[in-house]
């Protein structure tokens, strides 16, 4: 069995947070679905709350500090990404967006992404499609068709709503596993290892 990594980015602010809870369920579903396809997967979690000040610093200085760099490397080096945010004022939170703002433009190109979001009411659910999906389309990520939204009633509701959330999580995990298992292992091109020869630069490519 080959080992892949799934990075989980959670932008929840409270502890424990329902955003992290959803992120963990999506990660478990992704790992289980990969295992079913004969692929071993490890999960690495990035809690953006811990990097709130690092992210503000990065906006001002133009570089990630040591702590944030580790988080950025975790995400850019992973074979798949699970990204989960609370919905604030009709879209992803500012903290969530800031993390993707400081990544290199190319960092997520071709990377399988599973999206999730939480909010107090199900009326926010399409923010995933109107707000978050265009963000990852811009970054040229490959986004799973099913995005998972969980409102308070999904956690507090009875068996029917709970089962419905579980079904969505399982379906999303399967879609992510298909995308990850199909791709070669993540390896970013490094211009410092393989520089463009100067003759090529001179002739304008």
Partner 1 sequence: MQFGVFSVSDITADPTTGRTPREAERIRAIVTIAEKAEEVGLDVFALGEHHNPPFFSSSPTTTLGYIAARTQRLQLSTATTLITTNDPVKIAEDYAMLQHLAGGRVDLMLGRGNTGPVYPWFGQDIRQGIPLAVENYALLHRLWREDVVDWQGRFRTPLQGFTSTPRPLDGVPPFVWHGSIRSPEIAEQAAYYGDGFFHNHIFWPKEHTQRMVALYRQRFEHYGHGSADQAVVGLGGQVFMRRNSQDAVREFRPYFDNAPVYGHGPSLEEFTRETPLTVGSPQQVIDRTLAFRDYVGDYQRQLFLIDHAGLPLKTVLEQLDLLGEEVVPVLRREFAALKPAHVPDAPTHAARVAARGGAQDATVYAPADDVTGRSGQEVQA
The residues binding partner 1 (CB under 8 A) are 56-57, 59-63, 65-66, 191-192, 195-198, 201-202, 204
- Both tokens of 198, joined, read 């100067």
Exposure on the CB side of residue 14, measured as CA atoms within 13 A: 8
Q: How near is the Cβ of 164 to partner 1 at its closest, in Å?
A: 44
Of 38 and 62, the one with the shorter C-beta distance to partner 1 is 62
Of 77 and 157, the one with the shorter C-beta distance to partner 1 is 77
Compute the distance between CA of residue 130 and CA of residue 190 in angstroms, rounded to an integer: 34
Of 15 and 198, the one with the shorter C-beta distance to partner 1 is 198
Q: How near is the Cβ of 190 to partner 1 at its closest, in Å?
A: 9
Please, are residues 4 and 80 in contact by the beta-carbon 8 Å criterion?
Answer: yes
Kindly tell me the burial class for residue 162, based on how many C-beta atoms sit within 10 Å of its own C-beta (0-12, 13-18, 19 or more).
middle
Q: How near is the Cβ of 70 to partner 1 at its closest, in Å?
A: 13
Q: How near is the Cβ of 123 to partner 1 at its closest, in Å?
A: 37
Please, are residues 104 and 76 in contact by the beta-carbon 8 Å criterion?
Answer: yes
Of 145 and 197, the one with the shorter C-beta distance to partner 1 is 197
Q: How near is the Cβ of 59 to partner 1 at its closest, in Å?
A: 8
Please, are residues 177 and 37 in contact by the beta-carbon 8 Å criterion?
Answer: yes
Of 38 and 204, the one with the shorter C-beta distance to partner 1 is 204
The alpha carbon torsion through 138, 141, 144, 145 (nearest 10 deg) reads: 30
């Amino acid at each position: 069995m080959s080992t892949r990594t799934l990075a989980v980015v959670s932008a929840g602010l409270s502890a424990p947070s329902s955003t992290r809870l959803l992120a963990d369920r999506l990660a478990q579903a992704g790992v289980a679905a990969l295992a079913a396809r004969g692929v071993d997967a490890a999960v690495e979690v990035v809690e953006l709350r811990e990097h709130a000040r690092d992210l503000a610093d990065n906006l001002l200085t133009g570089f990630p500090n040591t702590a944030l760099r580790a988080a950025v490397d975790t995400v850019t080096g992973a074979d798949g990404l699970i990204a989960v945010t609370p919905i604030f004022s009709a879209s992803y939170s500012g903290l969530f967006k800031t993390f993707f703002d400081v990544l290199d433009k190319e960092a997520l190109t071709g990377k399988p992404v599973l999206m999730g979001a939480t909010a107090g009411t199900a009326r926010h659910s399409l923010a995933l499609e109107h707000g978050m999906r265009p963000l990852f389309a811009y970054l040229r990520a490959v986004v799973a068709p099913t995005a998972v939204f969980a409102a308070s009633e999904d956690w507090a509701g009875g068996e029917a709503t709970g089962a419905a959330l579980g079904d969505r999580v399982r379906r999303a995990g399967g879609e992510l596993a298909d995308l990850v298992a199909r791709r070669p292992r993540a390896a970013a091109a490094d211009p410092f290892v393989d520089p463009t020869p100067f003759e090529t630069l001179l002739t304008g490519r």
